[in-house]
Structure formats: structure tokens, C-alpha cells
Amino acid sequence: MTISQEILQTLKAYHFDNPEATWDELRERLIDIAESCLTMAHGDSSLVAYEMINDEQHQALREASAKLPLSINQQRAVGKALEIIEAAQERLEGRPGKLVEIVRDLRGESCSTPVALSPSLSVLPIQPLTFKTLSGLYMEERKDNIQASTMRDVKSSCEAIGAILGDLDLKTHTRDDMKNLRAKLLEDRKPSTVKKILTRLSTVMDWAVNNDYISKALTDGLKPTKGTDSAREAFTQDQMKALMAHAKTLPMDSWQRWALSLGVITGTRIAELRQLTKADVKQVAGVWVIDINRNDGKTAKTKNALRVIPLTDGAYGFDLQAFREFVEKADSRLFKLGAGQFSAVLNGALRDVLSLNADRTQTFHSLRHSLAGALKAVATQVEINEAILGHASGSISNDLYGAGSSVEIGRMADALKTALLI
């Protein structure tokens, strides 16, 4: 049997942790709580926060009733507290009737007797504003503006932070609490990973300050600076050649042949690659490209990820005509596996062909690093590199479909030819 700290803290907040307490003592506490729930004023932010707090308290009290050897008086008080929480939720929706009746019942007054409500708002059980609660509020607000893949990363980072901070009240946290969090994260994670997690922490905490949940964030300068370079390693030229040599041994109608080949010559993200359709392989300004877009329900990591990437015929032996024939025979989607299986098959192929270590320093994503390195090695203009890789920040991405598209796509195609036709 496991009793969580959350359960124990909830019992203590309600004064239910004393098995010797009389019913009258517990009833007085219940009256204070019920009256506070009935009279407390709320803004939009606190309405959401108290809905979550009430849900957590309701769950904790139910588990306490089921798992702990509570006295008869304690069990009676827990039962009434559950009624109060349920009624408090209705009051948050503008329906206070049940809560009014509970207060009258506890005070032993008839329904015709006026209820003298306590003006004090300080008797509501003080629950810590945990990072779990705070990040839940953040994700709920941002869910419509964040791609599903990014939201998974957000949730993963927030869970890692929440597991360490636990029941820490962020309304009273200190800089030492944040430094201890960093130290705990660094115990079993690489500095580069910790830097990403702490970046997410700063985002959530700054959001919380801006929305008046907490008064201070205390996350400035927290991210580690040593050892934070990406752990992902680019493939060597010999590895790239070996990978393409393997791809060319696969049948012309093999999706793996073309998925591996496109990864090598375009540096596309694996999620972008998986979503390609027949319509995304086309000519723009006389150049054959793949078009990374959000058409037909497809997703993209960022706005800058929306781009076209020229296909370089002959790069590491890539056969553009054979690829076009593969595309012509496709129904709509070029690759039909789900995200997890698609990634597993391609990364498994890389490990098998190149005898990679299991430490994930070289994966399909490393192909992006390889292409970036190849472009940099031939001194390609930075804006062109960014446009090809989907990190565009300059005029090229803005002009791709404008009057200068022919010139810009031609420059991208020339850059890839210089970098890849070795």
C-alpha cells in the first residue's frame, strides 16, 4: 500500500490527520471550508486553477478513505468534504445552491434560517501551486497553438521537472530550489538535454509570472553552459556513401530506398519526410523539388519549416528519374507507415548498415547535420543554408514563391549540387 505525499498533505490541510479529533472539531473545519468556497471571489485565471485544485483534492480524499485506517469521525468528515468539493465545483460554474445547503446543514440550521457567512477567505485549505498544476494550466492554454509533436516534447520536459520539484510551492520557491532542480537533472542527463528542459522551465515560469500565478520566476542564468553542444553527430562522407550504396541495392519500388535517399540529399526531418504526398514532388521554376507544407492536414514544426528543397540528380548516385517513376506509381502518400514505425524502421536500417552504437549519437536526424556541414564546407551563403534546412530567417524564404522564386530556387539547387556532387 502506497500513500502519496499529496494525500497526506490534503488530510492535513483539511485537519483530517488527527484520528482523535471529535466530529464537532471536524465539523467546524468543514464549515469554515464550505463558507470560504462559497464566498471567495474569482477571476478567469483562478477559476481554472481552483477547478484543478478541487479535482486533485477530491482524488486525494477518495484515496485516503479507501487506503487509510481512518476513524469513524474521519471517514464521516471525508465524506462531507467530498460533497463540499463537488458543490464547490458547481459554484465555480455559477450554481451555488448545493453549497448553500451544505453550509446550512453543517450549522444545524433550517432552510428558513438566514446563513451568516464568514467574511474570511483565509480558511480555504492552502494547497501548494506545484509545477505539475502550473504546467497543466500552461499546456491547456497553449494546446491550440502548439503542434502535437511539439506538445509531446513540452509534456515530457514538464513531467521531468515536476517529478523533481514535487510538492514545492512555486508561490514561495527560492533560487536554491531552482539550482537544486538543475543539479538533479544533471545527475543522469547530458548538459545539452538539461539545457532544453530548463528552457522549457523558463518558458512556463515566465508565462506564470505574466498571468499572475506567481510573482517571480528565478530562472535567469540557470541553463548550463558547458557541454551543451548537441550530442548528435553528423555522418562522415564514407558513412553517407555506404548508406546510399545500400539504398541502391533495394528494389526500385521499395519505399525504404527512397526514404533513405531523400534523407541524405535533402536533410529533411523524419516527420516531414513521412508526410510527403505525390503532389509534394513537383517542378518549381524548372527545378524538381519536394514541397514541405501543411496541406491536407499535414503538420510542420514551425512556419520556417515550410519550404521547398531541390532534388539533386546524381548526388551520391541518387536517380531522380527512377524516383519520379516511384512517385507516379504511388496512390497519394509516398510512405504509409505510422510515425513510430516509420522512425523505427529507418533508424534500424541506419544502425544495421553503418553498425552504429546504441547511444543515439547518430540517428536519422544526423543526416540534417551532415547536409548542414556539407553546405558550410563549400561556403554557401547562410541564408541559403537556412532556407534548405527549414531554419530560414532571411529574404530567401520570403521570396520563394514571389517574383524572385526562379532565382532563389536556382541558387538553392546550385548550392546543393556544389555540396553533394563530390
pLDDT at 282: 95
Radius of gyration, CA atoms only, the chain: 30
Helix, strand, coil content of the chain in percent (nearest 5): 60, 5, 35
Q: Does domain 237-420 have CATH number 1.10.443.10?
A: yes
Q: Amino acid identity, residue 281? A: V
Residues 6+ apart with CB under 8 A from 240: 264, 316, 370
> What pLDDT, on a 0 to 100 scale, did the predictor assign at position 310?
95
Domain spans in the chain, listed from the N-terminal domain onward: 5-107, 131-210, 237-420
Domain covering 131-210 assigned CATH 1.10.600 in the classification: no
Q: How many CA atoms lie within 13 A of 146 on its CB side?
A: 14
Contact 112, 62 (CB under 8 A): no
Task: Please give the Cα distance from 232 to 243 (Å, whole number).
Answer: 18
- Distance of alpha carbon 373 from alpha carbon 370, whole angstroms: 5
Digitized pLDDT (tens) for each residue of the chain, 422 residues in all: 456 777 878 888 888 888 898 988 999 999 989 888 888 887 766 777 788 788 888 888 988 888 888 899 999 999 999 999 999 989 888 888 899 889 888 887 443 444 444 444 444 455 678 999 899 888 888 887 777 777 888 888 999 999 999 989 998 999 999 999 999 998 888 888 898 899 999 999 999 988 888 889 999 888 877 654 555 688 999 999 999 999 999 999 999 999 999 999 999 999 999 999 999 999 998 999 999 998 988 888 778 888 999 999 999 999 999 999 999 999 899 999 888 889 889 999 999 999 987 667 888 999 999 999 999 888 778 888 888 988 755 444 444 443 345 558 899 999 999 999 85
